[in-house]
Structure 1
Amino acid sequence: MFDTMTLTKVLGGFCGAFLVFLLGKFVAEEVYASRVGLHGEEVMQGYLIGTDDDDSGVEETAGPTFDEVYASADAGKGERVFNKCKACHQLEQGANSTGPYLYGVVGRDVDAAEGFGYSGALEKVVDVWTPEHLSGFLENPAGYAPGTAMGFSGLKSVDDRANLIAYLATFGG
């Protein structure tokens, strides 16, 4: 009843189903992924419909500045935000991964992690990783330091950035 040919058919069926699922995943990523233009900027798919409204009478209310949010940042919440960074960065000194280690990064010179090969794009923009510079870089790495090898899309929330930097400041500070 259960011979070699039956086992081969069952194994082939599982492999075929797995390939169909992988193909479906690939197609879904291509259809729903955001598109990136030639120069690294994100290209929106759609059209801008112009209106002739004059917005000069409308005041835009800006949220709190980074300094205000950083003053009351919660390192505990920053630890949860750091989970997004764990794939490429380590907190132990000298433990480089895909990205450089982040032990003592707040206040450290740029491109100063021993043993990591930097792209050189950061040195053109910043000298020292102050909380303000880290916030700008973490908001949009490719926009802040064009040519950086960091492929992270960024943290848009100022609260998340402030909490993350407060958490990183607890290591080696």
Structure 2
Amino acid sequence: MFDTMVLTKAVAAFCGALLIFLLGNWAASGLYVPGNAGAEQAFIIDTGADDADDAEPVAELSFEEAYEIADASAGSRLWSQCRACHALEEGRNGVGPYLHGVVNREIAAVDGFNYSGALSQAGDAWTPEVLSEFLLNPNALTPGTSMSYRGMPSAEDRANLIAYIESES
């Protein structure tokens, strides 16, 4: 089936296709790359961006500071990330347990929900600080948890979300 002529045709087809792609690249470079692409800039427009780099960086709030000034209405938009698995109505479990009254509630205390054993590593109660640490990275606080959430890096967002959950309870 594979004789010398078939093999020669296959190699010739490959080489021909490669040649067409190389010629296409050469033509595109000639059309779209300007001739002075490697030259230095003729002039510079000052946008003030260098001044902004010299400014003092804004320090991010700690969770405790963010929780003191937390905005529950801003947390309502963040609730959509939790709504897929949790409910705020008491007694209505979903994929995850209901979160009504979760702030300062004992960990793994919802009757009728089958928790993973990893939550015992989080502590005794869902204080705002423990909730924040859990929301930052659930797998870091409780390795082996069945909650597959990637985490919420912003302390301000975590504080707003916890304030929203607490206000809705």
Structure 2 unaligned spans of 5+ = 1-56
Report whether the alignment pairs 1:93 with 2:90.
yes
Report the CA distance between 1:73 and its aligned residue. Answer: 0.3
In the alignment, the residues of structure 2 paired with residue 159 and residue 61 of structure 1 have an alpha-carbon distance, to the nearest angstrom, of 14
Q: How does 1:7-156 map to 2 (within 5 A)?
A: 63-156=60-153
Q: Aligned pair count?
A: 113
Contact 2:132 2:159 in 1 (8 A): yes
Q: Could you tell me which amino acid in structure 1 is paired with residue 80 of structure 2?
A: N
**SS of the counterpart of 1:84?**
helix
In the alignment, the residues of structure 2 paired with residue 158 and residue 64 of structure 1 have an alpha-carbon distance, to the nearest angstrom, of 7
Structure 1 stretches of at least 4 aligned residues deviating more than 3 Å after TM superposition: none
In the alignment, the residues of structure 1 paired with residue 58 and residue 81 of structure 2 have an alpha-carbon distance, to the nearest angstrom, of 30
Structure 1 unaligned spans of 5+ = 1-59
Q: Spell out, residue by residue over 1:66-113, the C-alpha distance to the aligned partner (whole angstroms, 9 max, x if none).
A: 100100000001111001100000001110000000000001000011
TM-score normalised by structure 1 residue count: 0.63
In the alignment, the residues of structure 2 paired with residue 123 and residue 131 of structure 1 have an alpha-carbon distance, to the nearest angstrom, of 17
Q: Could you tell me which amino acid in structure 1 is paired with residue 150 of structure 2?
A: S
In the alignment, the residues of structure 1 paired with residue 61 and residue 74 of structure 2 have an alpha-carbon distance, to the nearest angstrom, of 18
Q: Percent identity?
A: 51
The one of 159, 164, 168 aligned to 1:162: 159
In the alignment, the residues of structure 2 paired with residue 102 and residue 149 of structure 1 have an alpha-carbon distance, to the nearest angstrom, of 16
Please provide the CA RMSD for this pair. 1.4
Report the CA distance between 1:125 and its aligned residue. Answer: 2.4
In the alignment, the residues of structure 1 paired with residue 58 and residue 72 of structure 2 have an alpha-carbon distance, to the nearest angstrom, of 27
Please state which structure has a larger fraction of its residues in helix: 2
